[in-house]
Amino acid sequence: MGACSSIVWTYWKESGEIPDRTTATALLAGIQLDTDFLSRSVSQTDLDAHYALFFLGNNALAHEVVKTALSVDQLEEIGRSFSSFRIKDTILLAEVHGDYSSELLSVLADFLLRLREITFVVVIAIKGCEYHLSARTRDASLDTGCIVRQVLSGIGSGGGHPHMAGGTVHASCYRDGDAFLRKIADGIAAYRSKNETDNQAD
C-alpha cells in the first residue's frame, strides 16, 4: 500500500465501524500526502480508502492541510538547502542545517526529485545528536525503504515505502556528506545486485 492511512482505514472497515468526519479527514490527508495526491505507488486499497473517505471527511480541508505544510518563516531555511548538495550519478544528497521538521524535509525531498537528472534523493538535517533524513525515488526498480534501512544499519535506523522513506543517523557516525553519499550509492548498488541475483535464481 502507498499510505499508512489506508491500512488504518482497513481496520475501521473490518470492524464494521465508520470513522467520524474529523478522523476521516485526517486519514484522507494522510493518503494524499503519502501518495502525492494519488500520483505514486497507489494500490487498489489506497483508491478504495480514498474513495470512501472522500465522502466521509472534508476533502477541501484535507487538501489545504497537505498543501500548506510550510510557512513564510521557513523560506530562508529552504533556500539554504539548495546551496549545500552533492550529486553522484543520479543520486542527490542535500544537507540542511538548523531546525527542520520532518514535513519540511519531505517537501524538500519531493521538490528535489523533480530534477530531470536525479532519480534518488536524500535530504538530511545536520543538528543534534541524531540527524533526521527523508529519502525519495522515482526509479520503479528500487525500494527506498529497504535501501535506507540497509544504509543506516549500524549507524542509525530507518525504513519506509518503496518510493519514500525516513530515518535517523547518529551524529557520531556521520563523517561528512561525501562519505554518506558514497554509502547511499553503495546501498543502491547492493540492492540492484541482490535483485539481479534473485531474478536469475527464479
Residue 35: CA count within 13 A, CB half-sphere: 26
The hierarchical CATH code for the domain 72-201 is 3.10.310.30
C-alpha cell at 170: 547518529
Is 32 within 8 Å of 106 (Cβ atoms)?
no
Within 8 A by CB and 6+ apart from 135, the residues are 109, 120, 121, 122, 123, 144, 147, 148, 160, 164, 165, 166, 167
Question: Residue 134 pairs with which residues in a beta bridge?
Answer: 123, 166
Sequence ranges of the domains in the chain: 4-67, 72-201
pTM for the model stands at: 0.75
What are the backbone angles phi and psi of residue 159, rounded to the nearest 5°? 165, -175
Q: What is the pLDDT along the chain (202 residues), one digit of tens a residue?
A: 888 899 999 999 999 999 999 999 999 999 998 888 888 778 999 999 999 999 999 989 888 877 766 677 777 777 777 777 899 999 999 998 877 778 788 888 988 998 999 999 999 999 899 999 999 999 989 999 999 999 999 999 999 888 889 999 999 999 999 999 999 999 999 999 988 777 666 5
- Model pLDDT, residue 199: 67
